Amino acid sequence: SQTIHQWPATLVQPVGSPLSLECTVEGTSNPNLYWYRQAAGRGLQLLFYSVGIGQISSEVPQNLSASRPQDRQFILSSKKLLLSDSGFYLCAWSVYWGPPSMDEQYFGPGTRLTVT
């Protein structure tokens, strides 16, 4: 069966410090991978998605970046954190089987980031 891991679970970082959040997926190959941010415990904002190694698409311009060095590894980074980067970061995966595509995504447990 497939599983998705995120770490760390919680993180407190000062403004201006770097960030690295990691997500890994087990039990599937060539997944689509996604990073979301959830502010104030409500709506989801898609930040990045990736359809393959080294292929990253950005949905929202900001001081965050993403990388996919391996098929099942997705990393979210920042060189200098802002207060507004605080939030709950969720990684998700999906596999496109062809039409009719279910498009269902499976989410990790999330990382709670507090920038102080």
Partner 1 sequence: GNSVTQMEGPVTLSEEAFLTINCTYTATGYPSLFWYVQYPGEGLQLLLKATKADDKGSNKGFEATYRKETTSFHLEKGSVQVSDSAVYFCALGSAGGTSYGKLTFGQGTILTVHP
Q: For binding to partner 1 (CB under 8 A), which residues are involved?
A: 6, 32, 34, 41-44, 46, 49, 51, 57, 90, 92, 94-96, 98-110, 112
Handedness of CA 60, 34, 95, 31 (dihedral sign): positive
**Of 13 and 107, which CB lies nearer to partner 1 in the complex structure?**
107
Closest distance of CB 70 from partner 1, Å: 19
| CA end-to-end distance (rounded Å), the chain | 38
Residues near 19 by beta carbon (within 8 Å), at least 6 away in sequence: 11, 13, 64, 76, 77, 78, 81, 85, 113
C-beta of 11 vs 46, nearer to partner 1: 46
**Please, which residue, 41 or 54, has the CB nearer to partner 1?**
41
> Tokens at residue 111, please?
């990382």
Measured from the CB of residue 93, what is the shortest distance to partner 1 in angstroms? Answer: 9
Least Å from the CB of residue 15 to partner 1: 24
